[in-house]
Structure 1
Amino acid sequence: MTADDGPLTTTDALVQLSFRIQRVLAATAAEHDLSVIQLRLLGILRDRTPGMVELGRFLGLDKSSMTGLVSRAEKRGLVERSPSPDDGRAVRVALTPPGRELTAHCTAEVDRRIAALTDHLTPAQRTRLTTLATTLVHAPTD
């Protein structure tokens, strides 16, 4: 927004911010020959080893799409499947050591790029933004 632009509505501000964040994710993913959905998969696996159904819920994908996504990541050596200890028919998905290394690198790059978007904010404004964004992320959905 330039000095001549008027204030945005809440909807416009959030949509335009989401576009900027998506550009950050797309650029980071592209630099590592990943799609945005592959980058999201790696990000989800940073701190958990979910089953395929749970992964599908996180990513909004059906079973066949999840199978293809995980298979492609597995072929690249980024993830591995293992039997679920709770259900013999289910599998869990986890990062491999190379997948963990790539995920850490991409996470640092996304963190750096998003931090650059907020460099002009005061610490109090950053804290407020984080609080508001967290509230929106955890809000019930339709």
Structure 2
Amino acid sequence: MEDTTLATALVRLAQLVSRVYAEVGKEFELTPQQTQLLCMLLGGSTGMTDMSRALGLERSSMTGLVDRAERRGVVARVRDQRDRRAACIELTEQGKEIAYAAHRKVTEHVEKLIGDIAPDDRERLEHLVWTIVGTPAPRS
């Protein structure tokens, strides 16, 4: 029997979005995780620990991801102004160009997935997703 629970639907949605990151990443010769990293850094410099949590990566995996992105020239490590022992990650100029382009393509792909959902349903879904994510909805 097919499992049709909301949790299963959300897992399938997460898998679908992961595939979008993979497809877009290929266009820029990035891994899906590198693509996510760059898109997330569009919000500004972020601490390694915070980024590790956001991406669901262990510390060593996060370090490797940032090492590879740094060698590629798309991110740089900088000292955290609040805690000089900690490092933050920020986009380089090249990284910003790629991140904006990748984010635009990811968004376009996801918009196609959303399709013709009615405006009221779309608004409700948006509210519910932000509630699930646990952060306030960005202001338009």
Same fold (TM over 0.5): yes
Residue 106 of structure 1 corresponds to 102
Asked if 1:90 is matched to 2:86, the reply is yes
Structure 2 unmatched runs, 5+: 136-140
Asked if 1:18 is matched to 2:18, the reply is no
Identical amino acids, percent of aligned pairs: 37
Residue 28 of structure 1 corresponds to 24
Q: Using a 3 Å threshold, how does the CA distance of structure 1 residues 125 and 87 change in structure 2: closer, same or farther?
A: same
1:22-61 alignment to 2 at 5 Å? 22-61=18-57
> How big is each residue's C-alpha offset from its partner over 1:104-132, in whole Å with a ceiling of 9 and x where there is no partner?
00111011111111222111111111111
Q: CA RMSD in A?
A: 1.9
- Alpha-carbon offset, residue 11 of structure 1: 2.6
- CA distance in 2: counterparts of 1:59 and 1:47, whole angstroms: 14
Structure 1 unmatched runs, 5+: 1-5
Asked if 1:116 is matched to 2:121, the reply is no
SS at match of 1:17: helix
- Which amino acid letter does the alignment assign opposite residue 111 of structure 1? T
> How big is each residue's C-alpha offset from its partner over 1:62-84, in whole Å with a ceiling of 9 and x where there is no partner?
32222211111111110111122
- Which amino acid letter does the alignment assign opposite residue 60 of structure 2? S
1:122-141 alignment to 2 at 5 Å? 122-138=118-134
Name the stretch that deviates more: 56-65 or 72-81: 56-65
TM-score, with length taken from structure 1: 0.84
Residue 138 of structure 2 corresponds to none
Name the stretch that deviates more: 56-65 or 91-100: 56-65
TM-score, with length taken from structure 2: 0.85
Name the stretch that deviates more: 72-81 or 29-38: 29-38
Residue 3 of structure 1 corresponds to none
- Which amino acid letter does the alignment assign opposite residue 119 of structure 2? P
